[in-house]
Amino acid sequence: MDRSNLQALLLLLVLGLFSPLIESLRFELQSGHTKCISEDIKSNSMTVGKYSVVNPNEGFPLPDSHKVTVRVTSSFGNNYHYADQVTTGQFAFVAVEAGDYMACFWAPDHNPQITMTVDFDWRTGVAAKDWSNVAKKGHVDVMELELKKLYETVTSIHEEMYYLRSREEEMQELNSATNNKMFWLSLLSLLICLSVAGLHLWHLKTFFEKKKLI
Amino acid sequence: MDRRKTSWFSTIHTLALVFLGSIICRGSALSISLIERECVSENILHDGDTVSGNFVVMDHDIFWSSDHPGIEFTATSPDGVLMYALKDTSGDKFEFKARESGIYNFCFKNPSSTPETVSFYIHVGHIPNESGFAKHEHLDPVQVKIAELREALEAIISEQRYLKAREARHRHTNESTRRRVVFYTITEYVLFASTSILQVIYIRRLFSKSYVYHRV
């Protein structure tokens, strides 16, 4: 009882210690410019994002000009996160609408134009799940946790396959509809050409007959 | 005394296992708007890691000219050594082994003036090996196997994301084709009809009384 408790405690401690080591994507943002990053998120999947401005001088405090404004919106325009003039922050939500979610970073104007590096970590689905919580709740050991993670990954791959298959089916239908449309439209074009030419000739004939030239 | 020793060994063992387990191989799948040059950096923690990924340029509506010439992609190590370079491509996969740890730069360059949307995915995979362990700790082969299994799964995920991005691009192209087909044929009908009507009007004018009187 004592040993397992100690093990669980150590597990938590080490997971807590080592999670900040998980690095993320960095990009540069110039003052006065906006950079937007978008990601396609399926419905009912958890998504977690962490952003922070990288300190160019280690040990010194971050200068005041190094602040960003962040906004996370869905493809329908709903706002999911907004932070004004911050150096670090995070957001987490369950994506109700499927589609492209956009995280926009805006750096305020500064007279000598500065370029700051923003560290951004955006995870969705399996990677966003809080595994330390799962370990704490179920009193699972490390091996089982790893295998659980692998199982969830495989399930998500399977679901993604279904999605790709349905998209391919939609594309096939779209292509055959386009094919059909092209056929009917060219047939219609031929009919219109012939009928316009016919009308043209008939009209001119009656015109000249009226003018008593024929 | 003996029990305490085994308890400490087991905690150190757990520590080692947890350290291995928490090296979560991460990947980031994002799409950015590429105006002229965009760089993304990723911090790679261990040398010997395999960096793999892919990128696809989203198609934009092209009405008149031929297909987009493609973009340029470069991957640079922290020393400035070029690790991978691709030119004039609309989407490709890449993979290389990181010879040192540090911040690697992945840059996209757009030669044309129109902004493009690039959807990319970068994955850094790490398989634990003997280095980085103190003498009394040992590497559990099961953990290595689990790491290899995870890497194989991540390769599948990477391929899936590539296929998804390419499918999105093809869908975009197909929808654009459909719209253009309808637009061009309707324009064709309108042009036919208007040409014919203009011809009729011109001929009527040629034979109208005012014209005949003014010809002499």
Cβ–Cβ below 8 Å for A196 and B11? no
Q: In B, which residues are within 8 Å of A140 by CB distance?
A: none
Read off the pLDDT of residues A93-136 as tens digits, 9 standing for 90 and up: 998 888 889 999 998 888 888 888 899 988 888 888 877 777 77
Which pair of structure tokens corresponds to residue A32? 């006065």
Closest chain B residue to A156, measured at CA: B157
> pTM to 2 decimals?
0.78
Read off the pLDDT of residues A164-180 as tens digits, 9 standing for 90 and up: 999 999 999 999 999 99
Distance between CA atoms of residues B162 and B55, nearest Å: 7
Q: Supply the pLDDT for residue B22.
A: 37
Distance from CA of B88 to the nearest CA of A (A): 23
Residue B38 CB neighbour total at 10 angstroms:
20
Which of B24, B164, B205 to probe by mutation at the A interface, max A CB count within 10 Å?
A: B24
The sheet carrying A45-53 orders its strands as A88-95, A45-53, A115-124, A25-30, B37-44, B102-109, B71-76, B82-89
Query: Does A130 contact chain B (CB < 8 Å)?
Result: no
Query: Rounded mean pLDDT of A3-18?
Result: 43
Per-residue confidence band for B133, with pLDDT thresholds at 50, 70 and 90: low
A29, B30 in Cβ contact below 8 A? no
Q: In A, which residues are within 8 Å of B170 by CB distance?
A: 171
- Listed range (A9-23, A111-125, B96-110, B191-205) with the worst mean pLDDT: A9-23
Q: Supply the pLDDT for residue B3.
A: 53
From the list A42, A38, A37, the residue with the least C-alpha distance to A167 is A42
Q: Supply the pLDDT for residue A4.
A: 53
In chain A the domains, ranked by start, together with CATH numbers, are 3-129 (2.60.120.380)
| Cβ under 8 Å to B: A residues 28-47 | 28, 35-40
The sign of the dihedral angle between the CA atoms of A123, A126, A127, A131 is: positive
CA distances from B100 to A156, A203, B50, B104, B196 (A): 32, 83, 11, 10, 73
CA distances from A175 to A189, B179, B180, B183 (A): 21, 12, 14, 17
Query: Rounded mean pLDDT of B98-120?
Result: 89
> What percentage of chain A reaches a pLDDT higher than 90?
35
Do β-strands A45-53 and A88-95 pair in parallel, antiparallel, or remain unpaired?
Answer: antiparallel
